[in-house]
Chain A
Amino acid sequence: MKAFGGSAFFIDRDDINTDEIIPAKYLTEITKRALQPHLLEDLFLDGKEFDTQADDFQQASVLVTRSNFGCGSSREHAVWALEVNDINVVLGESFARIFRQNMFNCGILAVELSKADIDKLFALAQGDGAIKIGIELDKDTVVAENGKGEKVECSFSMNPFDKELVAAGGWLAYADQKY
């Protein structure tokens, strides 16, 4: 199975919706690649426009966020916009149903952690922004480490069916074999 993890980027907000992840005006694109420059383009954080060009965001493979990430429109473009930016994991307290399903359907991870664990990850990022996060799917653990070598380890429980989708490389491959 492919490895999940890498540099993490933190977004401290609840209820980030799919319009913010990829605005509707890009839904006329018929290739996933075309979405690449527009990820989180309409996000507002503390009343300010989000800087999509920031280095640490550009280099991220993991997003860490709060609750109900991916709510709103069903557009799978939100997941593709993550994929074409090489983001393969989103960690959050909770996800909107359709977004979560779309992630696993594409064979990438929406991992739910407890609020306490998400708080710990945010706290770790306070000290030193450069955080690396690894996901060990067979052990159901997340390991995060900052530049100073400080570590946070937490566990999650992932629905076994979602794991099977990831192992199969997504829902289409799984369904084509089975149904």
Chain B
Amino acid sequence: MGKTIAEKIFAAHLRDTPTPENMVLDIDVIMCHEITTPIAIMDLVDKDMDRVIDPNRIKAVIDHVTPAKDSKTATQAKIMRDWARRHKIKDFFDVGRNGVCHALFPEKGFIRPGNTVIMGDSHTCTHGAFGAFAAGVGTTDLEVGILKGVCAFRKPKSMKIEVTGTLPIGVYAKDVILKIIKQLTVNGATDMVMEFCGPVVEEMNMSSRMTLCNMSVEAGATSGLCLPDKVTAEYLWPFIQEDYASLEEAVEDFSTWHSDPDAEYAETLTIDVSNLRPQVTYDYKPDKVKDVDELAGARIDQVYIGSCTNGRIEDIRAAASILLGRTIADSVRGILTPATPAIYSQALNEGLIKIFMDAGFCVLNPTCGACLGMSSGVLAEGESCASTTNRNFNGRMGKGGMVHLMSPLCAAAAAVTGEITDPAQFIN
């Protein structure tokens, strides 16, 4: 019987099989941020185990609240900074070089097809876009990862998600994944790896693939995955050109991480996106999703464009295409947070930042910011935000606030009108 890509990665990294249902994997990349790592560091110090398995396998960033907003976040940052220095972790990113982890680390070429990746962050699944097994874990798992380079998992099953048809104009990866989550519900993929495939995914750039994989956890999945191909190899080329004689050779090598034709899936879902409308969430769960038409007219107080889901250059370009020559509604506060310094710089070079500023947006430094309601755009009670992020839980962006998840295009349209709006009318 053939194997899925996930099964191939597991087999290549298997350290132990404590029971037939459980596996302990060797982990290639252990990623750390300042919210979940400091307690792991302090616990290791406390237990006289302040070691790291290999500083080169550890990637660390201060991204959730940065620059520090108060003494507590300053302390968290300091614990990370001191630890990174102490253990000579060279891939550590601090103010000026830092950005949202799941946008920054891919951009640095840290994730390769076939890798295993963990981080104390549920959206670690984003990195599955490179054909890696990337899973969010808690602080204890992270701690063991840092110390021993291993992580235990209950063996996930694979779910094949085939995306077919042609994406209509103005409909994006975000709309596709929201639709999928709606269909699966918030726990429809628990203990599964969602393998995204089909012609629409093959056509997608890495940015869109990351958007898909990013939100797989919102359906409960252990990870999302895309099959590594020419698009992957082109994205990674600056980092792998020493390893391969040609791009074709890299693509060929990556194809060893493809699922076999006779691989078995626990479930298969086929979704034709040819008639897909822009999708928007309502209520407090990411599976509460409707076509934009059904929610059009709902008042919006804030628009947030950023995050590991949709804070990349492609997202900023899409939003700017609507904001060009327009101003946002008086009643709206617009916030743009490019996800990394490179994205910010690129947006400046392309004149996109000016478009946002002329439209009336506030432009912030790369950080998670309002996405988790800790800084830089927290909502007041009763306010609602059109947001390109990935979670709309009650209180997520501030107590009593409502978050409507949507694509960057939809969010830009909402900024212009001050209400949930079908972006079609603004697309030339």
Chain A residues close to B by CB (< 8 Å): 15, 17, 19-20, 23-25, 27-30, 32, 42, 44, 67-68, 71-76, 79, 94, 96-99, 101-102, 105-106, 159-161, 164, 170-172, 175-176, 178-179
- The reply to whether A76 and B138 form a contact with Cβ atoms under 8 Å apart is yes
Q: Which of B184-237 contact A (CB under 8 A)?
A: 186-187, 190-191, 220, 222
| Residue interface bits B14-39, CB-to-A below 8 A is 1, else 0 | 01101101101000000000011011
Question: What are 24 of the A-B contact pairs (CB < 8 Å)?
Answer: A19-B394, A19-B395, A24-B372, A24-B374, A25-B374, A27-B35, A28-B70, A30-B76, A71-B220, A74-B36, A74-B121, A74-B122, A75-B138, A76-B140, A94-B190, A96-B187, A159-B154, A171-B140, A171-B141, A171-B152, A175-B147, A175-B152, A179-B15, A179-B148
| Bound-complex Cα distance A160 to B391 (A) | 33
| Bound-complex Cα distance A96 to B154 (A) | 12
Chain B residues close to A by CB (< 8 Å): 15-16, 18-19, 21-22, 24, 35-36, 38-39, 42-43, 47, 49, 64-65, 70, 72-73, 75-76, 79, 120-122, 124, 136-141, 143-144, 147-148, 150, 152, 154, 186-187, 190-191, 220, 222, 284-285, 372-374, 391, 393-396, 399
Q: A24-B373, A159-B22, A175-B152 are in contact. List 8 more A-B contacts (CB 8 A).
A: A28-B374, A74-B124, A94-B190, A98-B136, A102-B139, A102-B140, A161-B152, A175-B147
Knowing A161-B21, A176-B49, the reply to whether A68 touches B190 (Cβ < 8 A) is: yes
- The reply to whether A179 and B391 form a contact with Cβ atoms under 8 Å apart is no
- The reply to whether A17 and B72 form a contact with Cβ atoms under 8 Å apart is no
CB within 8 A of A72: which of B70, B75, B393, B399?
B393
- Closest residue of chain A to B395 (Cβ to Cβ) is A42
A22 to chain B, nearest CB (A): 11
Knowing A20-B394, A105-B140, the reply to whether A68 touches B36 (Cβ < 8 A) is: no
CB within 8 A of B393: which of A20, A30, A32?
A20
| Bound-complex Cα distance A17 to B21 (A) | 26
- Closest residue of chain A to B187 (Cβ to Cβ) is A68
- Closest residue of chain A to B35 (Cβ to Cβ) is A27
| Bound-complex Cα distance A32 to B147 (A) | 21
- The reply to whether B18 and A98 form a contact with Cβ atoms under 8 Å apart is no
- Closest residue of chain A to B140 (Cβ to Cβ) is A105
CB within 8 A of B73: which of A15, A28, A72, A76?
A28
- The reply to whether B144 and A175 form a contact with Cβ atoms under 8 Å apart is yes
The 10 closest A-B pairs by CB, nearest first: A76-B138, A102-B138, A105-B140, A28-B72, A74-B122, A76-B139, A68-B187, A161-B22, A42-B395, A74-B136
- The reply to whether B399 and A164 form a contact with Cβ atoms under 8 Å apart is no
Which residues on B sit within 8 Å (CB–CB) of A44? 284, 394
Which residues on A sit within 8 Å (CB–CB) of B38? 30
CB within 8 A of B144: which of A29, A71, A72, A172?
A172
- The reply to whether B70 and A171 form a contact with Cβ atoms under 8 Å apart is no
Knowing A24-B396, A102-B138, A106-B140, the reply to whether A75 touches B36 (Cβ < 8 A) is: yes
- The reply to whether B22 and A98 form a contact with Cβ atoms under 8 Å apart is no
| Bound-complex Cα distance A99 to B36 (A) | 14
| Bound-complex Cα distance A179 to B26 (A) | 10
| Bound-complex Cα distance A113 to B76 (A) | 38
- The reply to whether A30 and B394 form a contact with Cβ atoms under 8 Å apart is no
Which residues on B sit within 8 Å (CB–CB) of A170? 140
Which residues on B sit within 8 Å (CB–CB) of A32? 39
Which residues on A sit within 8 Å (CB–CB) of B39? 30, 32, 76
- The reply to whether B148 and A175 form a contact with Cβ atoms under 8 Å apart is yes
